[in-house]
Amino acid sequence: MSYKITLIPGDGIGPELTEATVRVLEASGVDFQWDVQQAGIDVMAECGTPLPETVLESIRRNKVALKGPITTPVGKGFRSVNVALRKSLNLYSCVRPCKSYDGVPVTFRNVDIVIFRENMEDLYAGIEFELGKAETLELITDIERLNGNKILFDSGITIKPISITNSNKILRAAFEYAVKNNRRKVTAVHKANIMKYTDGLFLHLAAEMALQYPQIEFEDRIVDNMCMQLVKDPTQFDVIVLPNLYGDILSDLCAGLVGGLGVAPGANIGDEYAVFEPTHGSAPKYKGMNKANPMAQMLSGVMMLRHLGEYEAANLVEKAMAEVIAEGKYVSYDLLPLNDRARAVGTAEVATAIIERMQNA
Ligand code: NAD
C-alpha cells in the first residue's frame, strides 16, 4: 500500500531534518507519495502569507501530514503558522511522548511520559488586544463596567478561553490513550487555585472524566508544583493532560528531562486530520549547518507510521534509532556530554547510521 502524505519541510533547520527523516522512513519499506508543500518564513515574500491555502487543502485531501518546524517572529510580525494549522484543521490533541533512551546523558533513567496538550484555546488561542487600540480601550472599559476589575489603560490584553467542549476532547483523548496503551495514571495539570473559572473548569471536567475510567488512577497537580515534581522525579508520572500554554511549557521541560528537544517528537491530532511534527522549533542559528538532531522529527515519523497502522515499520525505525543512540558513535552534538561534542556527526550522517542499522536488522 502506498500512502499519500503532505510533507511540509518548514523553515530554519526544518528542510534538512525533513530530508533526513524522509530517507529513514522510506528505508522502512513503507511506500510514500510525498505531496510537498511549502510554508513558513521563506515563502512569505513569494506567496504573501507564511501559510498558503494550498497547504491546508493538501492536508484536507491527504488527511495526514509530516511537518518540519516553522518560525514565528517574536513580539511582532505574522501570527504562528503552527497555531493556525492546528486551529484551521481542528487538531485538538497535541500528543508529545517524552521517553528516555539508553545512551543519552540524562539525570533520570526510565522516564516515559506522554503529554496531552489542549491545542485549540487558552492564552495560546491568539485572541489579543493591542496596546492603545480603540477596541482595547473599549474592552478595558467594559471589563470594569461588567465585573469591577480595573485594568490600566496602558495595557495589552490576551484572552484565556477554556471551554467544556475542547477540554473534554483532550481529556477524553488522554484517558482513551491511557486505556489503549496500558498506562496506569493520568495527571491533570492546572492553576485552578487562581484561575477558578478557566483552569478550575478544566480540573472539574478532568475529575468528572476520571470517574468514567475507574481502571486508571487519576490525580491533579498545580502547575508550579508540577514543574518542581517533574525535575525532582519524573518517573512518578505517566500520562499528563493540561491546557495549551502549560502544555507548551511542560513539553520543553519534559523534553529536557529525556535529553533535549532533539529527541522529543509530537503529533497534532483531530477527528479528521493528523499533523506530525517535533516539539522543537526552527532553531534558525543552526539552519543549513547539517548540525541539528533529526531524531525528534524521525520519531514524529514513527508516530505517523503507528497512526497509519504500520507498526512493524515503526518498530524497525525506533529500534534502529535506539541502537544508534545507545552506541553513541553517530549522534549529533546535543546527545553528547559538553566535553565530548567534537566527535558529533551531522544531521545526514545520523540518518545514514540509522538506515544501516535498519538494513542489518
Ligand atoms: P527551538 O526549539 O527552535 O530551539 C531552542 C534550542 O534548542 C536551539 O537553540 C537548540 O539549541 C536546541 N534545539 C532545538 N531543536 C534542536 C534539534 N533538532 N537538534 C539539536 N538542538 C536543537 O526554540 P526557539 O529558539 O525558542 O524558537 C525558534 C523558532 O521556532 C521561533 O520562531 C519559534 O516560534 C519557532 N517554534 C516553532 C515550533 C513549531 O514549528 N512547531 C515549535 C517551537 C518553536
pLDDT confidence of residue 73: 82
Pocket test for ligand 1, best of 258, 282, 347 (most atoms within 8 A of CB): 282
The reply to whether 248 belongs to the active site is yes
- Gap from CA of 283 to ligand 1 centroid (Å): 4
- Separation between Cα atoms, residue 285 and residue 277, nearest integer Å: 19
pLDDT confidence of residue 74: 80
The reply to whether 224 belongs to the active site is yes
Helix then strand then coil, % of the chain, to nearest 5: 50, 15, 35
Over residues 28-83, the pLDDT tens digits come to 999 999 999 999 988 887 888 899 999 999 999 999 999 999 998 887 777 788 98
| Residue 275 · residue 67 · CB < 8 Å | yes
Over residues 279-300, the pLDDT tens digits come to 999 999 999 999 999 999 999 9
Over residues 218-237, the pLDDT tens digits come to 999 999 999 999 999 999 99
For residue 317, how far is the Cα from the chain centroid?
20
pLDDT confidence of residue 46: 84
- Separation between Cα atoms, residue 323 and residue 326, nearest integer Å: 5
**Which residue owns the Cα nearest ligand 1 atom 44?**
281
pTM score of the predicted model? 0.95
- Separation between Cα atoms, residue 116 and residue 95, nearest integer Å: 5
Q: Is the CB of 251 under 6 A from ligand 1?
A: no
Over residues 310-333, the pLDDT tens digits come to 999 999 999 999 999 999 999 999
- Gap from CA of 284 to ligand 1 centroid (Å): 8
DSSP 8-state code for residue 165: H
Q: Is the CB of 347 under 6 A from ligand 1?
A: no
pLDDT above 70: percentage of residues in the chain: 100
Over residues 128-177, the pLDDT tens digits come to 999 999 999 999 999 999 999 999 999 999 999 999 999 999 999 999 99
Q: Is the CB of 16 under 6 A from ligand 1?
A: no
pLDDT confidence of residue 15: 97
What average pLDDT does this structure show over 179-206? 98
3-state SS, 74-120, equals: CCCCCCCHHHHHHHHCCCCEEEEEEECCCCCCCCCCCCEEEEEEECC
pLDDT above 90: percentage of residues in the chain: 91
**Which residue owns the Cα nearest ligand 1 atom 40?**
69
